[in-house]
Homo-oligomer: A and B are copies of this chain.
Amino acid sequence: MDWSIQDIARIAGTTSRTLRHYDDIGLLKPSRIGHNGYRYYNQAALVQLQRILLLRGLGLGLPVISQVLDDETDAAKALTGHLEWLKQEQHRLARQIASVTQTIEAVKGGGEIMAEDMFNGFDHTQYKDEVEERWGKDAYAKGDSWWRNMSAEEKAAWKQRSQQLGADWIAAATAGIAPDSAEAQTLAKRHVEWLTGIPGTPASDARGKDDAGKRDVKGYVTGLGEMYVADPRFAKNYGGADGAGFVRDALKIYAAENL
C-alpha cells in the first residue's frame, strides 16, 4: 500500500521536485525504492510529510524541521524561538512601513528623494559667530556660499556622511579602544579628509600648498579637537564630553604624526 512520487505530491499538496529535494537533503526518505530507482511512499511517510509541510508553513527552516522531527520534545522550544524571530520580523516590517510611508510623502511634496527637511537642524549657519571669531569673516562666507550652492541631494549626502563619521566616533569611543590604535587613527584620517571638504578652512585651503600651509592645518586640527570638548554644541556630535575627549586625543596624535 504505497504511492508514487506524483501521487503523494498531489495528496499532500506539494510537488515531486520538493519530495526529491527532501530526499536529497535527508529530510524525508521514500519508504521503498523500486528496482528501477522509482521512489515510493507509504502511510507513515505521508504522515511525516504532512508534519514537515505544517512546520514549513509556520515558517521554520528545513534544518530546524529536521531537528524537530528527530527530537519531538524540542518542538515547543524550536517553535518558541521561531516565534521570537517572527515578532522581530514584524517589528522590522512595521518600521519599514513607517519609513516608506514617510518617504512617499516627502517625495510627493518635494519631488526629490532627498527632500529639504531631511537635513533640518543641520544648518551650517548655526556656527556663524564661532567661525567668524576664530577663522575670520572670509572663512565663514566661503563655507556659507559653499553650503548654499549645494543641491538638496548633495546636502543630504554631506549630512549623512557627517553623521556617519560621528556615529563611528561614538562607536569607537564607547568600545573603549585606545586613541592611538589603528582604528582610531583611521577615523582621525577620515575626519581630516572630511574637514578638507569644507571650503574656507585651513584644511581645504592647504590642498596642494607648501609646508607652511600644512603646518596651519596641524594647528587647525588640534585646535578643533579642543573646541569639540569645550563647546557642548560640538561635543554632542561625538556623544558628549567623553566622546569628544576621545576624538581630541586621537586627532592630536594623528596631527603630530601625519601633519
* Interface membership of A231, Cβ < 8 A: no
Q: How many copies of the polypeptide does the oligomer hold?
A: 2
* Contact partner, A13, options B94, B108, B164, Cβ 8 Å: B164
Evaluate contact between A46 and B83: CB separation under 8 angstroms: no
Describe A's contact surface by its main secondary structure: helix
Q: Complex: how many Å from CA A10 to CA B11?
A: 54
- Report if A72-B108 is in contact (Cβ < 8 Å); known contacts: A43-B157, A58-B96, A58-B103: no
Evaluate contact between B164 and A12: CB separation under 8 angstroms: yes
- Report if A50-B86 is in contact (Cβ < 8 Å); known contacts: A10-B168, A72-B112: no
Q: Complex: how many Å from CA A193 to CA B11?
A: 10
Query: Interface residue tally of chain A, by bracket?
Result: 35 or more
Q: Complex: how many Å from CA A82 to CA B101?
A: 10
When distances are taken between beta carbons in the complex, the residues of chain B under 8 Å from A103 are 54, 58, 79
Evaluate contact between A50 and B11: CB separation under 8 angstroms: no
Evaluate contact between A190 and B11: CB separation under 8 angstroms: yes
* Interface membership of A89, Cβ < 8 A: yes
* Contact partner, A83, options B7, B58, B101, B165, Cβ 8 Å: B101
When distances are taken between beta carbons in the complex, the residues of chain B under 8 Å from A180 are none
* Interface membership of A154, Cβ < 8 A: yes
When distances are taken between beta carbons in the complex, the residues of chain B under 8 Å from A32 are none
Evaluate contact between B51 and A79: CB separation under 8 angstroms: no
Evaluate contact between A83 and B59: CB separation under 8 angstroms: no
* Interface membership of A57, Cβ < 8 A: yes
* Contact partner, A79, options B3, B59, B100, Cβ 8 Å: B100
| Contact flags A51-82 to B (C-beta < 8 A → 1, else 0) | 10011011100000000100010011001101
Nearest CB in chain B to that of A73: its residue = B111
Evaluate contact between B96 and A93: CB separation under 8 angstroms: no
Q: Complex: how many Å from CA A153 to CA B69?
A: 13
When distances are taken between beta carbons in the complex, the residues of chain B under 8 Å from A167 are 13
Q: Which residues of A are interface residues toward B (Cβ below 8 A)?
A: 3, 7, 10-13, 43, 46-47, 50-51, 54-55, 57-59, 68, 72, 75-76, 79-80, 82-83, 86-87, 89-90, 93-94, 96-97, 99-101, 103-104, 107-108, 111-114, 153-154, 156-157, 160-161, 164-165, 167-168, 190, 193
